[in-house]
Amino acid sequence: MIDRQSSTSISDSGIEEKRVALDWERLRFERKKAAMEFRLKRNELADHRGKGWKELLASPFTLAIVGGFITVMSTIVSNHLTVSANLALEATKAELAAKGEAAKAVSASQAANQTLQADLIKKFVESPKTETVRENLRFLVDAGLLPDYATRISAYLANNPDVAPQVGATSEPNSPVIGGTPSSRGDWPWLVGIRRGTYDGVVCQATLLGPRTVLTVAHCVTKFDVSQELNATQSAAVDDIKVIATGDIGGQKATKEMQVSKIFVHPSYAKKRAPENNIAVLELKESLPPPYVLISQARASDPAPGTLAMVAAIAGSQFEFLEAKIPIVDYAVCRASMGPDVDPTTNLCAGFAAGGVDTCRGSSGGPLVVTDQAGRKYQVGITSWGVGCGLPNKYGVYTRVSAFADWIKQIVPDLPIKAGADSKQ
């Protein structure tokens, strides 16, 4: 009995252990099942939410709302930027306008001051004595009354110790040389006049380069139709142009009218407010005796700024000779005064900053000359154009002869030409 009871107890204990193990296994399975169902549910919900947003975004109505919102926001941003840019532009315009008005006021004030200084200069140089004029100019400079002209006047007085502007000058309004002094053919033996049509006086000037060769500017010997283009020019008829030589014969003034056989106008000549390549050569039908003027062939023989030069012209129907001394002007100074039409390669400028001495109407084609070390004149320029006559801060513009020496030599191969500033004539 004792052994049997013991065996039964052991058997019951093993069954209970197996039952407990099965319950734990079932619980683990239930947990796994619950976890899997939870994950599936969560994924299902996530898919449902994503599908909802995709369906929403795919809806035309939704897209229209979003597009309209983007358009409205873009318009608001664009308008804001445009308004800001316009405000900045208007502010810049206002600033530039204010600066422009200030600059105009400064320019007007400077112009007024320069005019007063020029008038003061003219007042103090009204004397027939050179030294008196020079002393007056030195006084004005030392007294600080000429701030805009002091440097140039001092340089002029230093470089030209024996001359002064406007000494003994005449300033007739119709004179071809404003502020000029009377001269004679003996000082300008190769200076001749040009007559056009039936007018019995001299309308332009020219110089003799040889027995039958005359140098002048193109605008004196060309036609110009204002209804055409500015550079639409052609030579005038040779019968319309006459060359006038004048001199003293037996104490009496005599003139000789020469006919022209050919007119050579520079091929690049352009008739404008400021003519370009303004040069022409005339061929006479008969010869005139020497002397003839020599011309500058190279830029090296042209005068430097500040060099004292001379201009001359034959005046009106009485054939009076007039001359004047004026300094060569630096290109930058001339361009600042006369504008961008001044070309340093083909132009020279001359005159006084204070004005008062200048070539004028009727002087076109006349010579601008300097003297070499032998004291003889040679031609470096031809009177071409200007603004008014003898005005302050305005200068005469002259055709630079050396720039066209090769072209002249093509027309007159045997022409004697000034080779350099120091060569002898």
> Could you tell me which residues are beta bridge partners of residue 321?
183, 314
Contacts of 176 (CB under 8 A, 6+ apart): 205, 313, 314, 315, 322, 359, 360, 361, 362, 363, 366
Q: How far apart are CA 81 and CA 6, in angstroms?
A: 101
Q: In the chain, what are the domain boundaries?
A: 1-76, 112-168, 177-411
Find the radius of gyration of the CA atoms of the chain: 48
Q: How far apart are CA 351 and CA 381, in angstroms?
A: 13
Contacts of 46 (CB under 8 A, 6+ apart): none
Q: What pTM was estimated for this model as a whole?
A: 0.61
Contacts of 243 (CB under 8 A, 6+ apart): 192, 193, 194, 195, 206, 214, 257, 258, 260, 282, 284
Helix 130-142 × helix 60-124 angle, to 10° = 130
Which two three-digit tokens encode residue 424?
């002898």
| pLDDT score for 33 | 73
**CATH number assigned to the domain covering 177-411:** 2.40.10.10
Per-residue confidence in pLDDT tens, the chain, 425 aa = 444 444 445 566 677 777 777 777 777 777 777 777 777 777 766 666 555 555 655 666 655 665 666 676 667 766 667 777 777 777 787 777 777 777 777 766 776 676 677 666 766 665 556 677 777 778 778 878 778 777 877 877 777 676 666 544 444 557 899 888 898 888 999 999 998 877 777 889 999 999 999 999 999 998 744 333 333 345 567 788 999 998 765 555 678 888 999 999 999 998 877 899 999 999 999 999 999 998 998 888 899 998 999 999 998 777 889 999 999 999 999 999 999 999 999 999 999 988 889 999 899 999 999 998 888 899 999 999 998 888 888 999 999 999 999 999 998 887 766 544 433 33
| pLDDT score for 28 | 76
| pLDDT score for 220 | 92
